[in-house]
């Protein structure tokens, strides 16, 4: 069976813009909007996080809507996840995934 979810979007936003980014994604997906942008990022890969990201698969219509809204978030970077690998997007932004120190949650 063919799927219509043929696009992947990676979006990275500064923590200061998380509220706006989550509000926009909630407008498009009521169930998932508040749970978006939970992966923490920073230049050093250590706390405190300076950015967060989301990745999702979308239909063509959803891709256009998500891209338009997320690109309007101050400091956000939106990538075509079929053309840019997650590690390459992080490298382009100078960020790494925050890895908790042993014993931290």
| pLDDT tens string 12-37 | 999 999 999 999 888 888 776 677 89
Whichever domain contains 74, its CATH number is: 3.30.70
Which residue segment(s) compose the domain that 72 sits in? 7-97
105 within a domain of the structure (yes/no) = no
76 within a domain of the structure (yes/no) = yes
82 within a domain of the structure (yes/no) = yes
29 within a domain of the structure (yes/no) = yes
Which of 1-5, 71-75, 97-101 shows the lowest per-residue confidence on average (mean pLDDT)?
Answer: 1-5
What's residue 81's pLDDT?
94
What's residue 75's pLDDT?
97
- The number of distinct structural domains making up the chain is 1
1 within a domain of the structure (yes/no) = no
More confident residue, 1 or 84: 84
Q: Examine the pLDDT at 7 and tell me if it is beyond 80.
A: yes
103 within a domain of the structure (yes/no) = no
Q: What distances in angstroms separate CA 105 from CA 47, 54, 78, 94, 101, one per listed residue? A: 12, 20, 28, 24, 8
What's residue 36's pLDDT?
86
């Amino acid at each position: 069976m063919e799927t219509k979810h043929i696009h992947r979007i990676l979006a990275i936003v500064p923590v200061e813009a998380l509220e706006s980014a989550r509000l926009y994604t909630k407008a498009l997906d009521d169930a998932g909007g508040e749970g978006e942008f939970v992966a923490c990022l920073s230049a050093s890969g250590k706390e405190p996080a300076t950015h967060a990201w989301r990745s999702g698969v979308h239909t063509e219509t959803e891709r256009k809507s998500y891209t338009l809204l997320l690109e309007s978030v101050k400091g956000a970077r939106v990538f075509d996840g079929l053309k840019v690998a997650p590690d390459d997007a992080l490298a382009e932004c100078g960020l790494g995934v925050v890895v908790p120190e042993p014993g931290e949650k």
